[in-house]
Amino acid sequence: MGIKVNEKESFFSITTQNTEYQFKADKFGVLKHLWYGEKTECDMEYLLDYPDVGFSGQIYDAADDRTNSIDTMPLEYPCGGIGDFRIPAVRVVHADGSTALDLRYKGYCIKNGKYSIPGLPAVYAEEKKAQTLEITLSDTASDTEVILRYGVLEELDIITRSTEICNKGSSPIFLKEAASLSLDIPFGDWEWIHFQGRHTKERVPERTPLIHGIQESSSSRGMSSHHQNPSFVICSPDCSEQAGKCYGGFFVYSGSFQTRIELDQLNQTRAVMGINPNLFGWKLKGGESFHTPEAVMTYSNEGFSKLSHNFHKVIRENICRGKYKLAERPVLLNNWEATYFDFDADKILKIAENAAALGVDMLVLDDGWFGKRDSDTSGLGDWFVNEKKLSGGLGSLVEKIKALGMKFGLWFEPEMVSEDSELYRTHPDWVIKIPSRKPNRARCQLVLDMSRKDVLENLYDSISAILKSADISYIKWDANRNICDWYSGELSAENQCELPHRYVLGLYELLERLNMDFPDVMIEGCSGGGGRFDAGMLYYCPQIWCSDDTDAFERTEIQYGTSFIYPISAVGSHVSVVPNHQTGRITPFETRAVTAMAGSFGYELDLGKLSEDEKQAVFRQIERFKKYGPLIHNGKYYRLSDPTTENYALWEYVSEDKSEALIHGMVFRTVPNMKRIAIRAAGLSPEGEYMIEGSGEIYSGAALMNGGILLQRTWGDHCPVEIHLIKQGV
Ligand code: DGJ
**230 within ligand 1 shell (Cβ under 6 A):** no
**566 within ligand 1 shell (Cβ under 6 A):** no
Secondary structure, 3-state, 440-476: CCECCEEEECCCCHHHHHHHHHHHHHHHHHCCCCEEE
Q: Is a pLDDT exceeding 70 seen at residue 446?
A: yes
Q: Which neighbouring-strand residues pair with 33?
A: 23
Q: Helix 612-634 to helix 589-596 angle, to the nearest 10 degrees?
A: 20
- Return the closest-CA partner of residue 725 out of 586, 695, 412: 695
Q: Is a pLDDT exceeding 80 seen at residue 627?
A: yes
**367 within ligand 1 shell (Cβ under 6 A):** yes
Q: Is a pLDDT exceeding 80 seen at residue 690?
A: yes
- Return the closest-CA partner of residue 214 out of 72, 87, 69, 74: 87
Segment 557-602, tens digit of pLDDT: 999 999 999 999 999 999 999 999 999 999 999 999 999 999 999 9
> Is the model's pTM score more than 0.85?
yes
Average pLDDT over residues 187-204: 97
Count of Cβ atoms closer than 10 Å to residue 389 Cβ: 18
- Grouping H, G, I as helix, E, B as strand and the rest as coil, residue 632 is helix
pLDDT value at residue 730: 85
**545 within ligand 1 shell (Cβ under 6 A):** yes
Q: Whose CA is nearest to atom 2 of ligand 1?
A: 528
What percentage of the chain exceeds 90 in pLDDT? 99
Count of Cβ atoms closer than 10 Å to residue 96 Cβ: 8
- Return the closest-CA partner of residue 414 out of 382, 390, 375: 382
Nearest ligand 1 atom to the CA of 334 is 5
Average pLDDT over residues 86-107: 97
Q: Is a pLDDT exceeding 70 seen at residue 272?
A: yes
Average pLDDT over residues 415-421: 98
Count of Cβ atoms closer than 10 Å to residue 491 Cβ: 17
Q: Is a pLDDT exceeding 80 seen at residue 543?
A: yes
Task: Quickly state the pLDDT bin for 1 (edges 50, 70, 90).
Answer: low
**Residue 127 bears catalytic tag:** no
**71 within ligand 1 shell (Cβ under 6 A):** no
Q: Is a pLDDT exceeding 90 seen at residue 275?
A: yes
Q: Is a pLDDT exceeding 80 seen at residue 97?
A: yes
pLDDT value at residue 340: 98
CA-CA-CA-CA dihedral for 572, 578, 580, 584, to nearest 10: 160
Average pLDDT over residues 149-163: 98
**Residue 7 bears catalytic tag:** no
How does DSSP classify residue 114? Answer: -
Average pLDDT, the chain: 97
Tell which one of 199, 202, 365, 367 to mutate to probe ligand 1, the residue whose CB is within 8 A of the most ligand atoms: 367
Helices (H) and strands (E) in the chain, counts: 12, 38
Burial group, residue 715, by CB count within 10 angstroms (0-12, 13-18, 19+) = exposed
Please report the DSSP string for 290-326 in residue order: EEPPEEEEEEESBHHHHHHHHHHHHHHHHT--STTSS
Segment 74-96, tens digit of pLDDT: 999 999 899 999 999 999 999 99
Active-site residue (options: 71, 534, 551, 590): 534
